[in-house]
Structure 1
Amino acid sequence: MVVLNKIYTKTGDQGETALGNGARIAKHALRVTAYGTVDETNATVGLARLHAADAMDARLAAIQNDLFDLGADLCRPDMDKDAEAEFPPLRMADSQVARLEAEIDAMNAALEPLRSFILPGGSALAAHLHLCRTVSRRAERLCVELAAAEPVNPAAVKFLNRLSDWFFVAARVANNGGKDDVLWVPGANR
């Protein structure tokens, strides 16, 4: 259980923050940037939910919870085995990736195949979902960069990769099942 009695602690006033394992790290460190961008993704999902109804809102709520799991995973780098045995870290699981894949497949089954790239937009929900997609792609790139330098749970990277695909397909669903997608016309304004 998390208890937040005091919101400001002044411990970050010198440009450092604490990771989930208690280690202090610069706020501009790649790990902090990665999980900060996951948090930014979560905020964009909150905006999308303002335009979502029922089933879509429920799926987006589940994604927001998963994004908090992902932030918890990324803010807790590997510790020694004794510490992890006593205080096991929350890690992303392949089952979370599989759920996204199943939802993508179910949504995509009802859509006509694309014959053109689409422009972000259409309905308000679709536009917000495209914003979610682009921010989650940035989070993915940062996690991949972090994984090249430090250990990162592979399921975390997979989740972000599927998540941006989920947002893309969900945006098509939000655009009247793809009928209101705004198609790219190459060279239209030459």
Structure 2
Amino acid sequence: MKVYTKTGDKGTTSLVGGQRVPKNHPRLEAYGTVDELSAQIAYLRDNLPERPPFETYRQTLLDVLDHLMRLSARLATEGDARKYLPAFGVGQVDFLEREIDTIQAALRPIDKFTLPGGHPAVSLCHICRTVCRRSERRVLSLADEHTVDPCVVPYINRLSDYLYVLGRKLSDDFGVKESYWVYDK
């Protein structure tokens, strides 16, 4: 099978189910940004060592990549075709909440904003977090005009929280000092 089909040469593409839409359709903006997020998360995962405790995070990030494919399929589908999609729902949101709670239990409380950096993997967490927040904005724009699965926004919101606490935990695991935003009034 050829990679190119030439069917998109005039600026349209097919959603799951066959409906053709412009390539700048809000659905494509939403799932395209989630696709970018997936690539960034894969890059973060590839930059974590394959040893404890990082192997646990690597597995969680692999699970997240699966979840994002399922979520993207929902964003790329309208109408009756949704019934053929792989499962995605509250279980994936709960998964992230458990991961967040586990990590947060091991972190010291803070009352300041953290600044990105200290280690390349920590910075990558923050890059992923910001792309995740952009994904959320794109999905919310889509939801203004079209139906969006009710678990998509909560999942993306939790994922940005997970990426934030993972960045804090990686600072600890790599033995780097967190930087905080301290401002004068």
Q: Would you say same fold, with TM above 0.5?
A: yes
TM-superposed CA distance for 1:78, in Å, is 2.3
1:111-136 C-alpha deviation (Å, 9 max, x unpaired): 01112101111211111011000001
Normalised TM-score (structure 2): 0.91
Query: How many angstroms does 1:6 deviate by?
Result: 1.7
Alignment gaps of 5+ in structure 1: none
Instruction: Give the whole-Å Cα distance in 2 for the aligned partners of 1:165 and 1:173.
Output: 12
SS at match of 2:125: helix
Give the structure 2 partner of residue 94 of structure 1: 90
Whole-angstrom distance in 2 between the partners of 1:77 and 1:164: 26
| Structure-2 residue corresponding to 1:78 | 79
Q: Give distance in 2, aligned partners of 1:16 and 1:91.
A: 28
Asked if the contact 1:70/1:91 (under 8 Å) is kept, the reply is no
Listed one character per residue, the Cα deviations across residues 152-186 of structure 1 (whole Å, up to 9, x for unaligned) are 00101111010000000000011015962211121
Q: What SS does structure 1 have at the residue aligned with 2:21?
A: strand
Give the aligned partner of residue 61 of structure 2.
60
Q: Is the 8 A contact 1:137 1:161 kept in 2?
A: yes
> Matched residue of 1:146: which SS?
helix
Secondary structure at the aligned position of 1:47 is classed as helix
Select 1:33's aligned residue among 26, 29, 35: 29
- Establish whether residue 123 from structure 1 lines up as the match of residue 119 from structure 2: yes
How do 1:1-190 and structure 2 match up within 5 A? 5-53=1-49, 54-79=55-80, 88-176=84-172, 180-187=177-184
CA RMSD of aligned residues (A): 1.7
Supply the distance in 2 between the matched residues of 1:61 and 1:122 (Cα, whole angstroms). Answer: 24
Q: How far apart in 2 are the matches of 1:180 and 1:40?
A: 29
Runs of 4 or more above 6 Å deviation: none
- Are the aligned partners of 1:92 and 1:153 in contact in 2 as well (CA < 8 Å)? no
1:187 positional shift = 4.6
Q: Which amino acid aligns with 2:64?
A: I
The answer to whether the 8 A contact 1:20-1:72 is kept is yes
Secondary structure, counterpart of 1:176 in structure 2: helix
One-letter identity of the residue aligned with 1:57: R
TM-score w.r.t. length of structure 1: 0.89
In 1, Cα distance between the equivalents of 2:161 and 2:107?
14
Instruction: Measure how far apart 1:64 and its partner are.
Output: 0.9
SS in 1 for 2:79: coil
- When residues 141 and 91 of structure 1 are mapped into structure 2, their CA distance, relative to the original with a 3 A threshold, is farther
The number of equivalent residue pairs is 179
Over the matched positions of the two proteins, sequence identity in percent amounts to 39
Structure 1 partner of 2:52: none
5+ unaligned residues in a row in structure 2: which ranges? 50-54
Letter in 2 for 1:88: Y
Q: Secondary structure in 1 aligned to 2:139?
A: helix
Is the contact between residue 118 and residue 176 of structure 2 (CA under 8 Å) also seen in structure 1?
no
Indicate if the aligned counterparts of 1:77 and 1:152 stay in contact, CA closer than 8 A. no
Q: 1:91 to 1:150 in 2, by over 3 A?
A: farther
